[in-house]
Chains A and B, each alone.
Chain A
């Protein structure tokens, strides 16, 4: 196994093209564990550690944010982003343990595309746009299209994720991330990421994405629509929860059976909506 330390994105792309089956190494918090366990033996690793500029988190004047792929989970957890984007910080704060967050990157967590991970549903709920660069140039994908299947993204061979763009959060928008796990720091049994825009107590728009409920973050137009233009009354919230429950197709593992996971979806959805709403009601 060879290890390379390129300093520009162009060099990374060149190295990926030149080495079949090569992998990017970001924080290593998943990749090195897999190497140690013998689950992976790539012929070459391309470290992103020295690539200039990838670790920047830029706050734009309009409230939007551009985040490089190697921003650490700890940096995102501490970023205190405004409005709906708070969902991202709350998710990052609940990833694993301090040591993992110190070195694990946002891009690594998104590219690993583990359906039980915390950042993928949060970035879907925040309506993030992912920038991918490969031999054919640059393209932009919605977070919804980025996650394709269990541990599978829409990145083509030779392509990398370079940055994530978050739209400016609308006035009155709020976000919350609720993780239900067996113990502190474990992967989620079920998690709920929610962003909403509220106007005088009326929900104008909502985006909900669930973790650990399908092969990729689970989002449903119908569930979001069930909340739009409502006062988030109990019936509307229950309707959104029931639609998500119906669509959930979770795996069974040591963190819960598929049936158990499905059963707790509506309750957790209601709690997450309540947590987000409480932020809108809290005096600024």
Chain B
């Protein structure tokens, strides 16, 4: 049990065990951005709607703004910074740059994290409909989504499947 003040939270972020100080109302997003200086995850709506704070928690896509930091003890978190060496994310980055799928870039980290999770989960490259469905919770105010979906489909074709294992670090 924890009391009312600032309390240490032990969790693993991008493979590193960390102890971070969290006030009781702080979210995982606050913790990542302010205490761990991992500012790749963005803050938009702070209420679960926009998806710019998307991270992986215990291997699953999550809203960092909807996780209370004090409830994250023992959890394993991966942020966009932790996907630097991820083969899916790398291919996705290339395809997004090529397709012009990044304009202001505010939505990009959340979209890359969410799509990396999708690519890891499926054995077959997702089609445009599957990508759109999966990204239903990630809002982009710049691109109109067409280029993002195109890039995601191409990246999926390149990186989803058996050969990805061989390229994994």
Q: Contact residues of A with B, CB < 8 Å?
A: 1-6, 25, 28-29, 32-33, 35-37, 45, 47, 49, 74, 96-100, 102-103, 183-185
Cross-chain contact B71 with A100 (CB below 8 angstroms)? no
Residue pair A5, B67 in contact (C-beta under 8 Å):
no
Given A4-B1, A36-B47, A100-B137, the answer on whether A28 and B68 have CB atoms closer than 8 Å is: yes
How far is it, in angstroms, between the C-alpha of A49 and the C-alpha of B48 when the chains are bound? 19
B34 CB–A CB distance under 8 Å = no
A28-B71, A29-B66, A32-B66 provided; 19 other pairs, C-beta below 8 A?
A1-B25, A2-B2, A2-B3, A4-B1, A6-B1, A25-B68, A25-B71, A32-B27, A33-B46, A98-B61, A98-B114, A98-B134, A99-B54, A99-B63, A100-B63, A103-B67, A183-B136, A184-B132, A184-B136
Residue among B25, B27, B60, B137 making CB contact with A185, cutoff 8 Å: B137
Looking at chain B's contact residues, the main secondary structure is mixed
- Which listed residue (A6, A36, A45, A183) contacts B65, Cβ 8 A? A36
Q: A5-B2, A35-B25, A184-B136 are in contact. Are A99 and B71 (CB under 8 A)?
A: no
Question: Considering the chains assembled together, what is the distance between the CA atoms of A28 and B114 in angstroms?
Answer: 19
- The residues of B with any CB-CB pair to A shorter than 8 Å are 1-4, 24-25, 27, 46-48, 51, 54, 57, 60-63, 65-68, 70-71, 73, 114, 117, 132-134, 136-137
A97 and B136 in contact, given A36-B65, A103-B57 (Cβ under 8 angstroms): yes
- A3-B2, A185-B137 known; A99+B62 contact, CB < 8 A: yes
Interface-centre pick from A29, A32, A37, A185 (highest chain B CB count, 10 A): A32
Say how far B107's CB is from chain A's closest CB, in angstroms.
14
CB neighbours (8 Å) of A183 from chain B are: 136
Give the residue name and chain of the B residue nearest to A72 (CB).
Answer: B60
- Please name 9 pairs of A and B residues whose Cβ atoms are closer than 8 Å in the assembled complex, sorted by A: A5-B2, A29-B48, A29-B63, A45-B68, A98-B61, A98-B134, A102-B60, A102-B62, A184-B132
Contact of B70 among A3, A74, A97 (CB under 8 A): A3
State in angstroms the CA–CA spacing of A185 and B67 once bound together. 20
| Chain B: minimal CB distance from A207 (Å) | 29
For the complex formed, measure the closest distance between the CB of B50 and the CB atoms of chain A, giving whole angstroms: 11
Given A100-B48, A185-B136, A185-B137; A3-B71 close (CB under 8 Å): yes
**Which A residues lie within 8 Å of B137 (CB)?**
96-100, 185
Contact of B66 (CB < 8 Å), options: A1, A28, A49, A74:
A28
A158–B61 Cα gap in the complex (Å)?
33
Contacts A98-B137, A99-B62, A185-B136 given; indicate if A2 touches B27 (C-beta within 8 A).
no
